[in-house]
Amino acid sequence: MATLFWLQTGACGGDSLALLSAESPSLEQIFSAHGVELLWHPSLSGASMREHDALLERIVNGEQALDILCVEGSIVTAPRGTGLYDSYRGRARMDIARELAERAGTVVAMGTCAAYGGVHAAAPNPGDCIGLQYNRSTPGGLLPPEWRSRAGLPVVNVSGCPAHPHAMTQTLAWLAAGLPLPLDELNRPKAFFNTVVHQGCTRNEYHEYDIEENEPGGRACLFFNLGCQGPMTQAVCNSDLWNGTSSKTRAGVPCFGCTSPSFPRDTDLFLTEKIGDIPLRLPLGVERPRYMAYKNLARAAAPERVKDKKMDV
Ligand code: SF4
Domains of the chain with bracketed CATH = 2-191 (3.40.50.700), 195-312 (4.10.480.10)
Q: Is 195 in the pocket of ligand 1 (CB under 6 A)?
A: no
The model's confidence at residue 277, banded by pLDDT at 50, 70 and 90, is confident
70 assigned ligand-binding residue: no
Q: Is 136 in the pocket of ligand 1 (CB under 6 A)?
A: no
Mean pLDDT over 278-290 rounds to 85
pTM: 0.95
Q: Are 111 and 161 in contact (CB under 8 A)?
A: yes
169 CA distance to ligand 1 centroid (A)?
A: 27
Q: Is 239 in the pocket of ligand 1 (CB under 6 A)?
A: no
Q: Is 129 in the pocket of ligand 1 (CB under 6 A)?
A: no
Question: Does the pLDDT of residue 215 top 90, yes or no?
Answer: no
253 CA distance to ligand 1 centroid (A)?
A: 10
Q: Is 226 in the pocket of ligand 1 (CB under 6 A)?
A: no
Mean pLDDT over 281-309 rounds to 87
* pLDDT at position 312: 85
**Tens of pLDDT, residues 86-134:** 999 999 999 999 999 999 999 999 999 999 999 999 999 999 999 999 9
Residue identifier of the C-alpha nearest atom 6 of ligand 1 = 221
* pLDDT at position 240: 97
Q: Which atom of ligand 1 is nearest to the CA of 230?
A: 3
Q: Is 231 in the pocket of ligand 1 (CB under 6 A)?
A: yes
* pLDDT at position 91: 97
Question: Does the pLDDT of residue 153 top 90, yes or no?
Answer: yes
Buried b (16+ CB within 10 A) or exposed e, 97-126: bbebbebbbbbbbbbbbbbbbbbbbeeeee
212 CA distance to ligand 1 centroid (A)?
A: 10
Q: Give the span between the Cα atoms of 303 and 209, in whole angstroms.
A: 8
198 assigned ligand-binding residue: yes
Out of 222, 225, 229, 232, give the residue to mutate to test ligand 1, the one with the largest number of ligand atoms within 8 Å of its CB: 222
Question: Does the pLDDT of residue 313 top 90, yes or no?
Answer: no
Mean pLDDT over 181-210 rounds to 96
12 assigned ligand-binding residue: yes
Q: Give the span between the Cα atoms of 193 and 236, in whole angstroms.
A: 7
Question: Does the pLDDT of residue 286 top 90, yes or no?
Answer: no
Mean pLDDT over 74-89 rounds to 98
Q: Give the span between the Cα atoms of 162 and 196, in whole angstroms.
A: 17
99 CA distance to ligand 1 centroid (A)?
A: 42
- Quickly count: other Cβ atoms within 10 Å of residue 25's Cβ: 19
Question: Does the pLDDT of residue 185 top 90, yes or no?
Answer: yes
Q: Is 255 in the pocket of ligand 1 (CB under 6 A)?
A: yes
295, 311, 308, 290: which is closest to 209 by C-alpha?
295
Q: Give the span between the Cα atoms of 88 and 91, in whole angstroms.
A: 5
* pLDDT at position 234: 97
Q: Are 10 and 75 in contact (CB under 8 A)?
A: yes
* pLDDT at position 213: 93
Q: Are 109 and 140 in contact (CB under 8 A)?
A: no
129 assigned ligand-binding residue: no
DSSP code string of 255-310: ---TTSTTPSPSS-TTS--EETTEESS-STT--HHHHHHHHHHHHHH--HHHHTT-
Out of 203, 258, 291, 295, give the residue to mutate to test ligand 1, the one with the largest number of ligand atoms within 8 Å of its CB: 203
Question: Does the pLDDT of residue 154 top 90, yes or no?
Answer: yes
Average per-residue pLDDT in the chain? Answer: 95
The model's confidence at residue 311, banded by pLDDT at 50, 70 and 90, is confident
Least confident of 73-87, 113-127, 205-219: 205-219
